[in-house]
Amino acid sequence: MLMALWPAWAQETIGFVKTVTGKAAVTDAGKLIDAQVGTPIKMGNILKTGPQATMGVTFKDNTVMSFGPDTEITVDEYLYAPGKGDLKFSTSMAKGSMQVVSGVIAKLKPQAVTVKTQGGLIGCRGTRFLVKVEP
């Protein structure tokens, strides 16, 4: 029911799970889905890996995120319309570790890519970076 109230762009698939080892999940509109290769990712999804798990996700702009064990990240905003100049990729990371290989959004508009953590905000100006958030 809640999904019906969200705008259509919030329900768009913006990426896919590409790799999974162990137990990982995607929470979509409050529904917990076991992550497996091919699971779609949408804006607002929460991505989680278990204590012995890893997961890799590729987004429409070819950004690749690899999550280590016991990681939780939320995809807050994702706008990818380079022809219109609409570019933004914002995530919030509650815990865990993540490696990112930047895609088109970071290359065209580096200031549009951010990772929020409990300790601050990371602006992504490079093409590859690591983030670790301790509990």
Domain ranges of the chain: 2-133
Report the 10 Å Cβ neighbour count for 103: 21
CA angle (97, 71, 98) in 5-degree steps: 30
pTM (global) more than 0.75: yes
Three-state DSSP class for 63? coil
Greater model confidence, 111 or 57:
57
Model confidence at 16: pLDDT above 80: yes
Mean pLDDT of the chain: 88
Which amino acid does the sequence have at 38?
A: G
Instruction: Please tell me the predicted confidence (pLDDT) of residue 124.
Output: 60
Q: Specify the pLDDT at position 49.
A: 98
- Rounded to 10 degrees, the C-alpha dihedral 36/8/101/24 comes to -20
Q: What is the mean pLDDT of residues 83-99?
A: 93
Mean pLDDT in residue range 62-78:
96
pLDDT for 2 equals 43
The per-residue pLDDT for 3 is 45
What is the band of 75 on the pLDDT scale with cuts at 50, 70, 90? very high
